[in-house]
Structure 1
Amino acid sequence: MNQLSVLSLSLLLPTGFVFAQSTTSTTTTLDNNDVIVTATRTAQKVSNALSDVSVITQSDIQNSGSRSVSDLLNKVTGVETFSSGGRGKATNLFLRGTSSEQSIVLVDGVRLFSATTGSAAIQHIPLEQIDRIEVVRGSTSSIYGADAIGGVIQIFTKKPSNTHTQSASIGIGSQNTYEASAGASGKWNKLGYQAMVSHDYTGGFSTTNKDASAYVYNPDNDGYRNTTFTGKLDYEWLKGQTIKASAYIGKSKSEYDAYKFSMAYPPIPADYKQDEEHSKLTQFTVESSNTLIDEHLFSSLKYSKSQDKSKSFESERPDNTGFFNTTTDNVSWILNGKINTINAIFGLDWLRSKVDSSTIYEKDSRDNKAVFIGADWQYKNHLLEGSARYDDNEQFGSARTGRIAYGYKFTPTLSARASYATGFRAPTFNQLYYPGWSNPDLKPEKSHNTEIGLTYHPEKLKIDWVAFRNSIDNLIQYQNNHTVTNNKVKIKGTSLSVAASLSDSVILKANATYQDPIDKNTNQVLNRRSRAFGNIGVDYLPNEDWTLNANVYIKGKGYDSYSDDMTWQTVSVRNAGYATLDLGVRYQMTPSISTSFTVENLFDKGYTNAYGYNTSGQSVFWRISYQN
């Protein structure tokens, strides 16, 4: 598909086409009074946000037809995600052309990431556990610190409800896929509680294909299983004074095709045993949330401990089990004050990352201390936001980041905004110390992000347009000679998202992004990014019991690279553009019971996101759910 096809589609939007996902998204209404907390770490209406944001509500998740966080995020403006070989495999996350390491993923306010790779294992977070997702595009380092060059994605898991509720669901689908979940939530006197467990299993398909290295390719099915538990308690011991505790525990087993020392595959030997990676994600949090001055001053003191553990079992090397365990301790204190139309925030952050691995690292821990301030102000038609942060990193010294944004409301339905922000990213432990593939002299990445935007929101229509430019100095990249160096990249682009309520029962939604993520040293497009991509979707609600939806995902051509088996040189290869169609239907059988059926990739379109790795063909899934 021509790269400009998606951009051309976006130019048609004002004359009749609409794309999902708009500035905020609901399936049954175009209300713009939703609240977002991720953009400034304080609550604000989406209509007043001066960042480029998207909100995915519980209603969106239920009616989207998506079966993974990756699939759901693919429908969001400016986001590209895909896994390397199917469900549960390593997932790439590109936010406005930046890499997984250049964006932050939070789960209930706590960062999810591996200190060795720098990326978040979103492939292990089941949708059943999620209540809401907020996406902020553009640098947010002035609030969140290192690695927020591309933006922030915050996942909110389900929370205690005011009345006792219980839920359960089961599902079955293609590739021997089975899912089940059960949970309970409620309040007893002043104690709120929530607990939920979910289990997923799929037989999967072959991770790799014949384009992969002959030392890796193995045409077997690579399955995946995951069991996740979330639990929350909150106790309001006095009005406005609450103690909260939460736990997230996820264990998974993912089969994959490991590197072999011979080219004997295929055929598969009779005594072959599956290559597997066992992973465990844990997160424990305690928080004191306090109202100090009624309606005017609020405090939050939070401690969290999270771990990302993985252990590999390879068929050819049973005595060489490799493991990577990273532990992150984080203490944060936020003081939020409101005076008339001014909302101010002050915060302190302390974070320690530690690595325990079968691979010996020259250094295995580092601390980061930070202080930040921010404020937003509204006066008549004027909106103003500003924030600044100072980080003191044990390895790299100090870093100062800031952001300033201004907005103006021409009318109640038309507004404009502009912003400038700086950011930085610290090299990962792998990039600094992994034997044979590292460089201890790497410099932190530094970014300068500029953007302008327009939002038009009459009663039954939402249009959001943004143009952005992100210059990144000291970009960290791997080279052909197994070294890591600092380069430079400039990413510029534009996005357009629209949602329109055509009637009480039909909502059309769409988005389109055109970007130019160019490596300034090679003048080439960065690997696995597309210059153009987007969605066209429709929700049809004939009555309160039925919801039908369709979504077309369109992705322009991109480029990837691989290492030639004979020369060991890196070769660039082009991945063709493609389009896929997903369909879904949901029926509310009774007030407590609903059922849904989805078809992904209806026309069984073959396509490539990562060279040498397979993608799923047509698949179907049926689920029945109970909640009371």
Structure 2
Amino acid sequence: MKRYQSNPRRTAGQPAAMRAAVSFTLSALAAWSYTPAHAQASANAAADGALAPVVVSASRFPNDPAFPPVAATVITAEQIREAGIDNANEAIRKLGGVYGRQSSAGPNDFPLDLRGFGSNGDQNMVVLVDGVRISENELTTPLLSSIPIETIERIEIVRGGSSVLYGSGATGGTIQIITKRPQANAGHGSVVAEVGTDGQRAGRAFVARGWDNMSIDASYAKAHNDGWRDNTKSNQENFSTTVQWFASDWRFGLRANIARADYGLAGGLSLAQFNANPRQAKTPFDYGSYDNDSITAFLERRFGAFDVAAELSHREKIARANYASTATTLQTNVRNTQFSPRIRHVLEAGPIKNELIAGIDLAEWNLNTVASYGNSDAAQRSKAFYLRDEIEFDKNARIAAGVRREIFTQSSVSGVYGMNSGVNAWDLQASYALVPSLRAFAKTGQSYRLATADENGFNGLPTGQILKPQVSHDLEIGATWGSVDRQLTAKWFRHRVRDEIYYDPTGGAFGFGANSNLDPTKHQGVELEGKLRVTEAVTVSATYQHVEAKFTEGVNAGKELALVPRNMLSTRVNWKSGSQSADAGLRWVDSQRYGSDFSNTCAARIPSYTTLDARYAIRVNAWEFALTGTNLAGRDYYSQAFSCQGSIYPENGRAVKFTARYDF
């Protein structure tokens, strides 16, 4: 139907920009067709089943082997492929054990939640791509599905307060997407086609070519899905290209990303409607779309014991929504520029090794909203300086300390509100190897979050006032044990939060709800993560999280926060033998409070649920054929509901897809 088509205003120049970018990239790659041979795909490199070493970069630099972050979760490109996953958001949920709930707008980008922050989980973690922040300064989910899956080298998940290095919103942790680095004098690529239930059709292509000191890669993806629910049809199109120049001690590059999507908005159901038919649409004629374009320049340079790095990124996003159900329209225009230079010095003195990092984060963000019910605008400027030092003693003990100071200005261009202020973060970490296979660690610190423009624009406060920064005092202790074939990590954590920024359904001048600074809250729990290689062919893994998120003061003292399941368990089994592989995952999520139930008076809870997904694949020379299924039990369930037994957004039912892939 016509309402699913792209907005006509896109044809004025934005698709032309995509065509020009594609044309430029294909022209640059044309020379590859004249080379005498092509490198084989790297997927066979680990055919013997050994786990390859993975270098993580939680220090905002490619990590020195002496300073790997303790207890980070790393998802590799091989794991993503073997699970049959085609977008980063799904990989983070299924392989990283991160909780996600059904999106109420847009395809594939589920809101994510580290450590029980409910409907504002996305705003309490930071998502980055190669060091560039893509977490939105508005109440929307980062567009992880727009990142070409073929370009991802690994995904790093670091749970817990990380504001010293990453600033606002990093209380729950950080998710870093690391893309593949160039290979000199090598070329490779792949073509993927998928077809599945609910009208799913998708195609992807990736190609990369490296020369002595230059490389270029390009990725294109297009997907269509009729949707499991009525009025959830979606179309998505992404293009990405990177050009890099490099030598042994430096790297410089330019990256461009273009993403387009349009989708239906089915709306939330009542419990009676869900029980009668979870596939129906409450709003059969509502729809939305977005255009998201970004360009990034990045530089890395080594000078002896010093490393210097920087990224300069500019992003523009246009999001549109047409709500026929309420006769309203909305368009938001976002412009964001970031510049993040930093320097690292590594010093060795006998058995002692020291890593010192200093950096600056500069950001400028503008939002313009045009709506049928009124227009608005907002701006934020911020500048931050951070310093972090880590010392390793004889490879057994490590201690690290860091501080950050951020100065920010939040304002409405029309003068409705404005504020200049500052906020601090700090942390202190230590770890000790009791024996070579067992390391204990502890961390304490302060993290923070600034209110988004959406939150300040609807806060229920007197004119001219905005929400206070959210500040969390964080504590974490734990231990890691194991080797390449068996690993176990256990953590206990606590976040004591003051002025937590959240939508209070009872707030506002007239009690109809508003974004508010809540009374003090506490998020406390346990995390377990394990992996075991049973045989050369079979590996099993599991993640478990227990969270108690409650008010500690005020009228709701002792009451649970909404939309936070107390327990979550994920298990996976992977089998790989010769040309065949199989992967299966089981996920259980506990019951949780409905979104508006701050007083815990709703007699019902969102029910617990269990899902099963699986994949089987076989390789035939350069071809791979796979069959993948999700929610194989066909369970009707939901994880997103904003009122007591109402405003329910059902999760997708059973889906099966067939994939054919050719590597060259």
Output one character per residue of 1:579-606: Cα deviation in whole Å (capped at 9) or x when no partner.
111111121111x211211111111112
2:61 equivalent in structure 1:
42
Q: Distance in 1 between matches of 2:140 and 2:245?
A: 35
Which residue of structure 1 aligns with residue 37 of structure 2? none
1:9 counterpart residue number: none
Structure 2: 5+ residue runs without aligned partners? 1-45, 270-275, 278-282, 410-418, 642-647
Corresponding position of 2:136: 114
Q: Deviations over 1:34-75 (max 9, x none)?
A: 2110x2213337895454411110001001233443332223
User: Which among 198, 205, 219 is matched to residue 182 of structure 1?
Assistant: 205
Match of 2:386 in 1: 372
Q: Which has the higher helix share?
A: 2
Map 1:48-63 → 2, pairs under 5 A = 48-63=67-82
Provide the rounded CA distance (Å) in 2 between the counterparts of 1:377 and 1:126: 37
The corresponding residue for 2:620 is: 589
Q: Which residue of 2 aligns with 1:307?
A: 316
Q: CA deviation at 1:188?
A: 2.8
Partner residue in 1 for 2:157: 135
RMSD over aligned Cα, in angstroms?
Answer: 2.9
State the identity as a percent. Answer: 20
1:495-514 aligned within 5 A: 495-514=527-546
Q: Which residue of 1 aligns with 2:290?
A: 279
Structure 1 residues not aligned, in runs of 5+: 1-25, 207-219, 261-265, 564-568
1:361–1:434 Cα contact (<8 Å) kept: no
- Structure 1 residue 457 and structure 2 residue 482: aligned? yes
2:650 to 596, 614, 619: 614
State yes or no: 1:249 paired with 2:226.
no
Aligned counterpart for 1:202 among listed residues 225, 228, 248: 225
Residues 573-584 of structure 1: matches in 2 within 5 Å?
Answer: 573-584=604-615
Correspondence list, 1:376-415, <5 A: 376-380=390-394, 381-394=396-409, 395-415=419-439
The secondary structure found in structure 2 opposite 1:61 is helix
Amino acid paired to 2:500: L
CA separation of 1:73 and 1:302: change in aligned 2, threshold 3 A: closer
How much has 1:116 moved relative to structure 2?
2.6
Question: Relative to structure 2, which stretch is displaced further, 382-391 or 138-147?
Answer: 382-391
Aligned residues: 571
Does the 8 Å CA contact 2:265/2:284 hold for their aligned counterparts? no
The equivalent of 1:466 in structure 2 is: 491
Where relative contact order (Cα < 8 A, 6+ residues apart) is larger, the structure is 1
Name the residue aligned to 2:562: 527
- Aligned position for 1:538: 573
Equivalences for 1:139-178 in 2 at 5 Å? Answer: 139-162=161-184, 163-178=186-201
The alpha-carbon distance between structure 1 residues 437 and 321, as it changes in their structure 2 partners (threshold 3 A), is farther
Match 2:331 to one of 317, 323, 337: 323
Residue pair 1:351, 1:368 contacting (<8 A) in 2 also: yes
Moved more, 437-446 or 527-536: 437-446
Residues 1:27 and 1:429: Cα distance change in structure 2 (over 3 Å): farther
Q: What code does the residue aligned with 1:533 have?
A: M
Give runs of aligned pairs for residues 339-350 of structure 1, distance below 5 A. 339-340=347-348, 341-350=353-362
Aligned equivalents of 1:258, 1:357: Cα separation in 2: 22
Task: Give, as a single letter, the amino acid of the residue that structure 2 aligns with 1:197.
Answer: Y
Aligned-partner residue type, residue 603 of structure 1:
A
Is the CA contact 1:115–1:355 (under 8 Å) kept in the aligned structure 2? Answer: no
Deviation at 1:438, TM superposition (A): 9.4
Question: Separation in 2 of the partners of 1:312 and 1:362?
Answer: 16
SS of equivalent to 1:560: coil
2:22 counterpart residue number: none
CA displacement, residues 10-49 of structure 1 (integer Å, 9 cap, x when unaligned): xxxxxxxxxxxxxxxx998574842110x22133378954
Aligned to 1:558: 592
| 1:617–1:438 CA distance, 2 compared to 1 (3 A) | farther
Q: Say whether the 8 Å CA contact 2:109–2:142 is kept in structure 1.
A: no
Deviation at 1:403, TM superposition (A): 1.1
Contact 2:475 2:494 in 1 (8 A): yes
Equivalent residue number for residue 4 of structure 1 = none
Distance of aligned partners of 1:205 and 1:526 in 2 relative to their CA distance in 1, 3 Å threshold? same
2: CA distance between counterparts of 1:241 and 1:483? 50
Given that residues 561 and 572 in structure 1 are in contact (C-alpha distance below 8 angstroms), is that contact kept between their aligned partners in structure 2?
A: no
User: 1:575 is paired with a residue of what secondary structure?
Assistant: coil
Which amino acid is 1:100 matched to?
D
Structure 2 length-normalised TM: 0.80
| Equivalent pair of 1:489/1:517 in contact (CA under 8 Å) | yes
- Give the direction of change, closer, same or farther, for the CA distance of 1:28–1:495 in structure 2 (3 Å limit): farther
Once the two structures are TM-superposed, the CA of residue 614 in structure 1 deviates from its matched residue by: 1.3
